Amino acid sequence: MKKRNAYFVAGLILTGFLTAMILLGLFWTPYDPNAMDGAAKFLKPSLQHLMGTDGFGRDIFSRVLKGAGTTYGIAAATVAIGGICGTLIGALTGYFGGIVDDVLMRLGDVLTAFPSILLALVVISILGPGKTINVMIALGLVFIPSFARVTRTAFASLRDVNYIKSARLMGASSGRILWRHMLPNTWDVLLPALTIGFNNAALAEASMSYLCIGVTPPDASLGYMLSEAQGMFVRAPWYAISTGMTLVLMVFGMGLLGEGLQHRHGEVF
């Protein structure tokens, strides 16, 4: 197996395993993630508590399952919102060009000049802080320009190729050309962009929650859990290690998957 194929397989295995654990956490956890037990504070990892307990006696493994699910869900929703809207905008501007293309791309340049977390914070302040759905919307809107730029470049490169010109001469509508002829030939660019967008969204959500401007209690989030773990690091270092490693593995697995997808074109798996 070639190294580039190994990237894809390793990323698929790691991402699939984490996704399966997150789905399990939606329906079952060993303990209530928010249940406090004063007699079980700062317990080290064991068979009873796989990742130990925190300063409130809460089972860290249960909280990691829930927190990873929250971070994963927000990142997926961000990619869905930003990817769908950005792909639509990029496809139209890349295919038709003209003044609409110039206006939208310059607007995108202005938005991408600001840090994504800062823009997301502005949107959250308008929508209202503390709600997971508002974090999803805020990050989704912020990520639209980056997806639009990638998609525009891909569609613009196909606009004047021979089979697109032939489709126009045969009377195919613009919608059919975009949907049936151009979109399938841009997946080699879009799929890696989606994995990169997922990682950026997961890190953005974790950063915002770490600063307590994203997901807030009683919802668990890897970023907020890292913020909690910082104050308990001396007594319970396993809290920060297990939470941080979960976030690292989530990003690493998706990064390997994206690397494999980026080199997949022209190969047989």
pLDDT band at 97 (very low <50, low <70, confident <90, very high): confident
Residues 6+ apart with CB under 8 A from 119: 111, 138, 142
How confident is the model at residue 134, as a pLDDT? 87
Residue range 230-259: average pLDDT?
92
Instruction: State the burial class of residue 160 (Cβ atoms within 10 Å of its Cβ: 0-12, 13-18, 19+).
Output: exposed
How confident is the model at residue 126, as a pLDDT? 82
Query: Does residue 268 carry a pLDDT above 50?
Result: no
Share of residues in the chain with pLDDT > 90 (%): 38
pLDDT per residue over 2-12, tens digit each?
555 888 889 99
Q: How far is CA 77 from CA 116, 122, 202, in A?
A: 16, 19, 10
pLDDT band at 266 (very low <50, low <70, confident <90, very high): very low
Instruction: State the burial class of residue 46 (Cβ atoms within 10 Å of its Cβ: 0-12, 13-18, 19+).
Output: exposed
Residue range 186-215: average pLDDT?
88
Query: Does residue 29 carry a pLDDT above 70?
Result: yes
Q: What count of residues does the chain have?
A: 269
Residue range 194-222: average pLDDT?
86
pLDDT per residue over 138-160, tens digit each?
899 889 988 988 898 888 888 88
Residues 6+ apart with CB under 8 A from 221: 67, 70, 71, 74, 205, 206, 209, 214, 215
Residue of 126 and 143 predicted with greater confidence: 143
d(CA 263, CA 140): 27
Mean pLDDT rounded to a whole number for the chain:
86
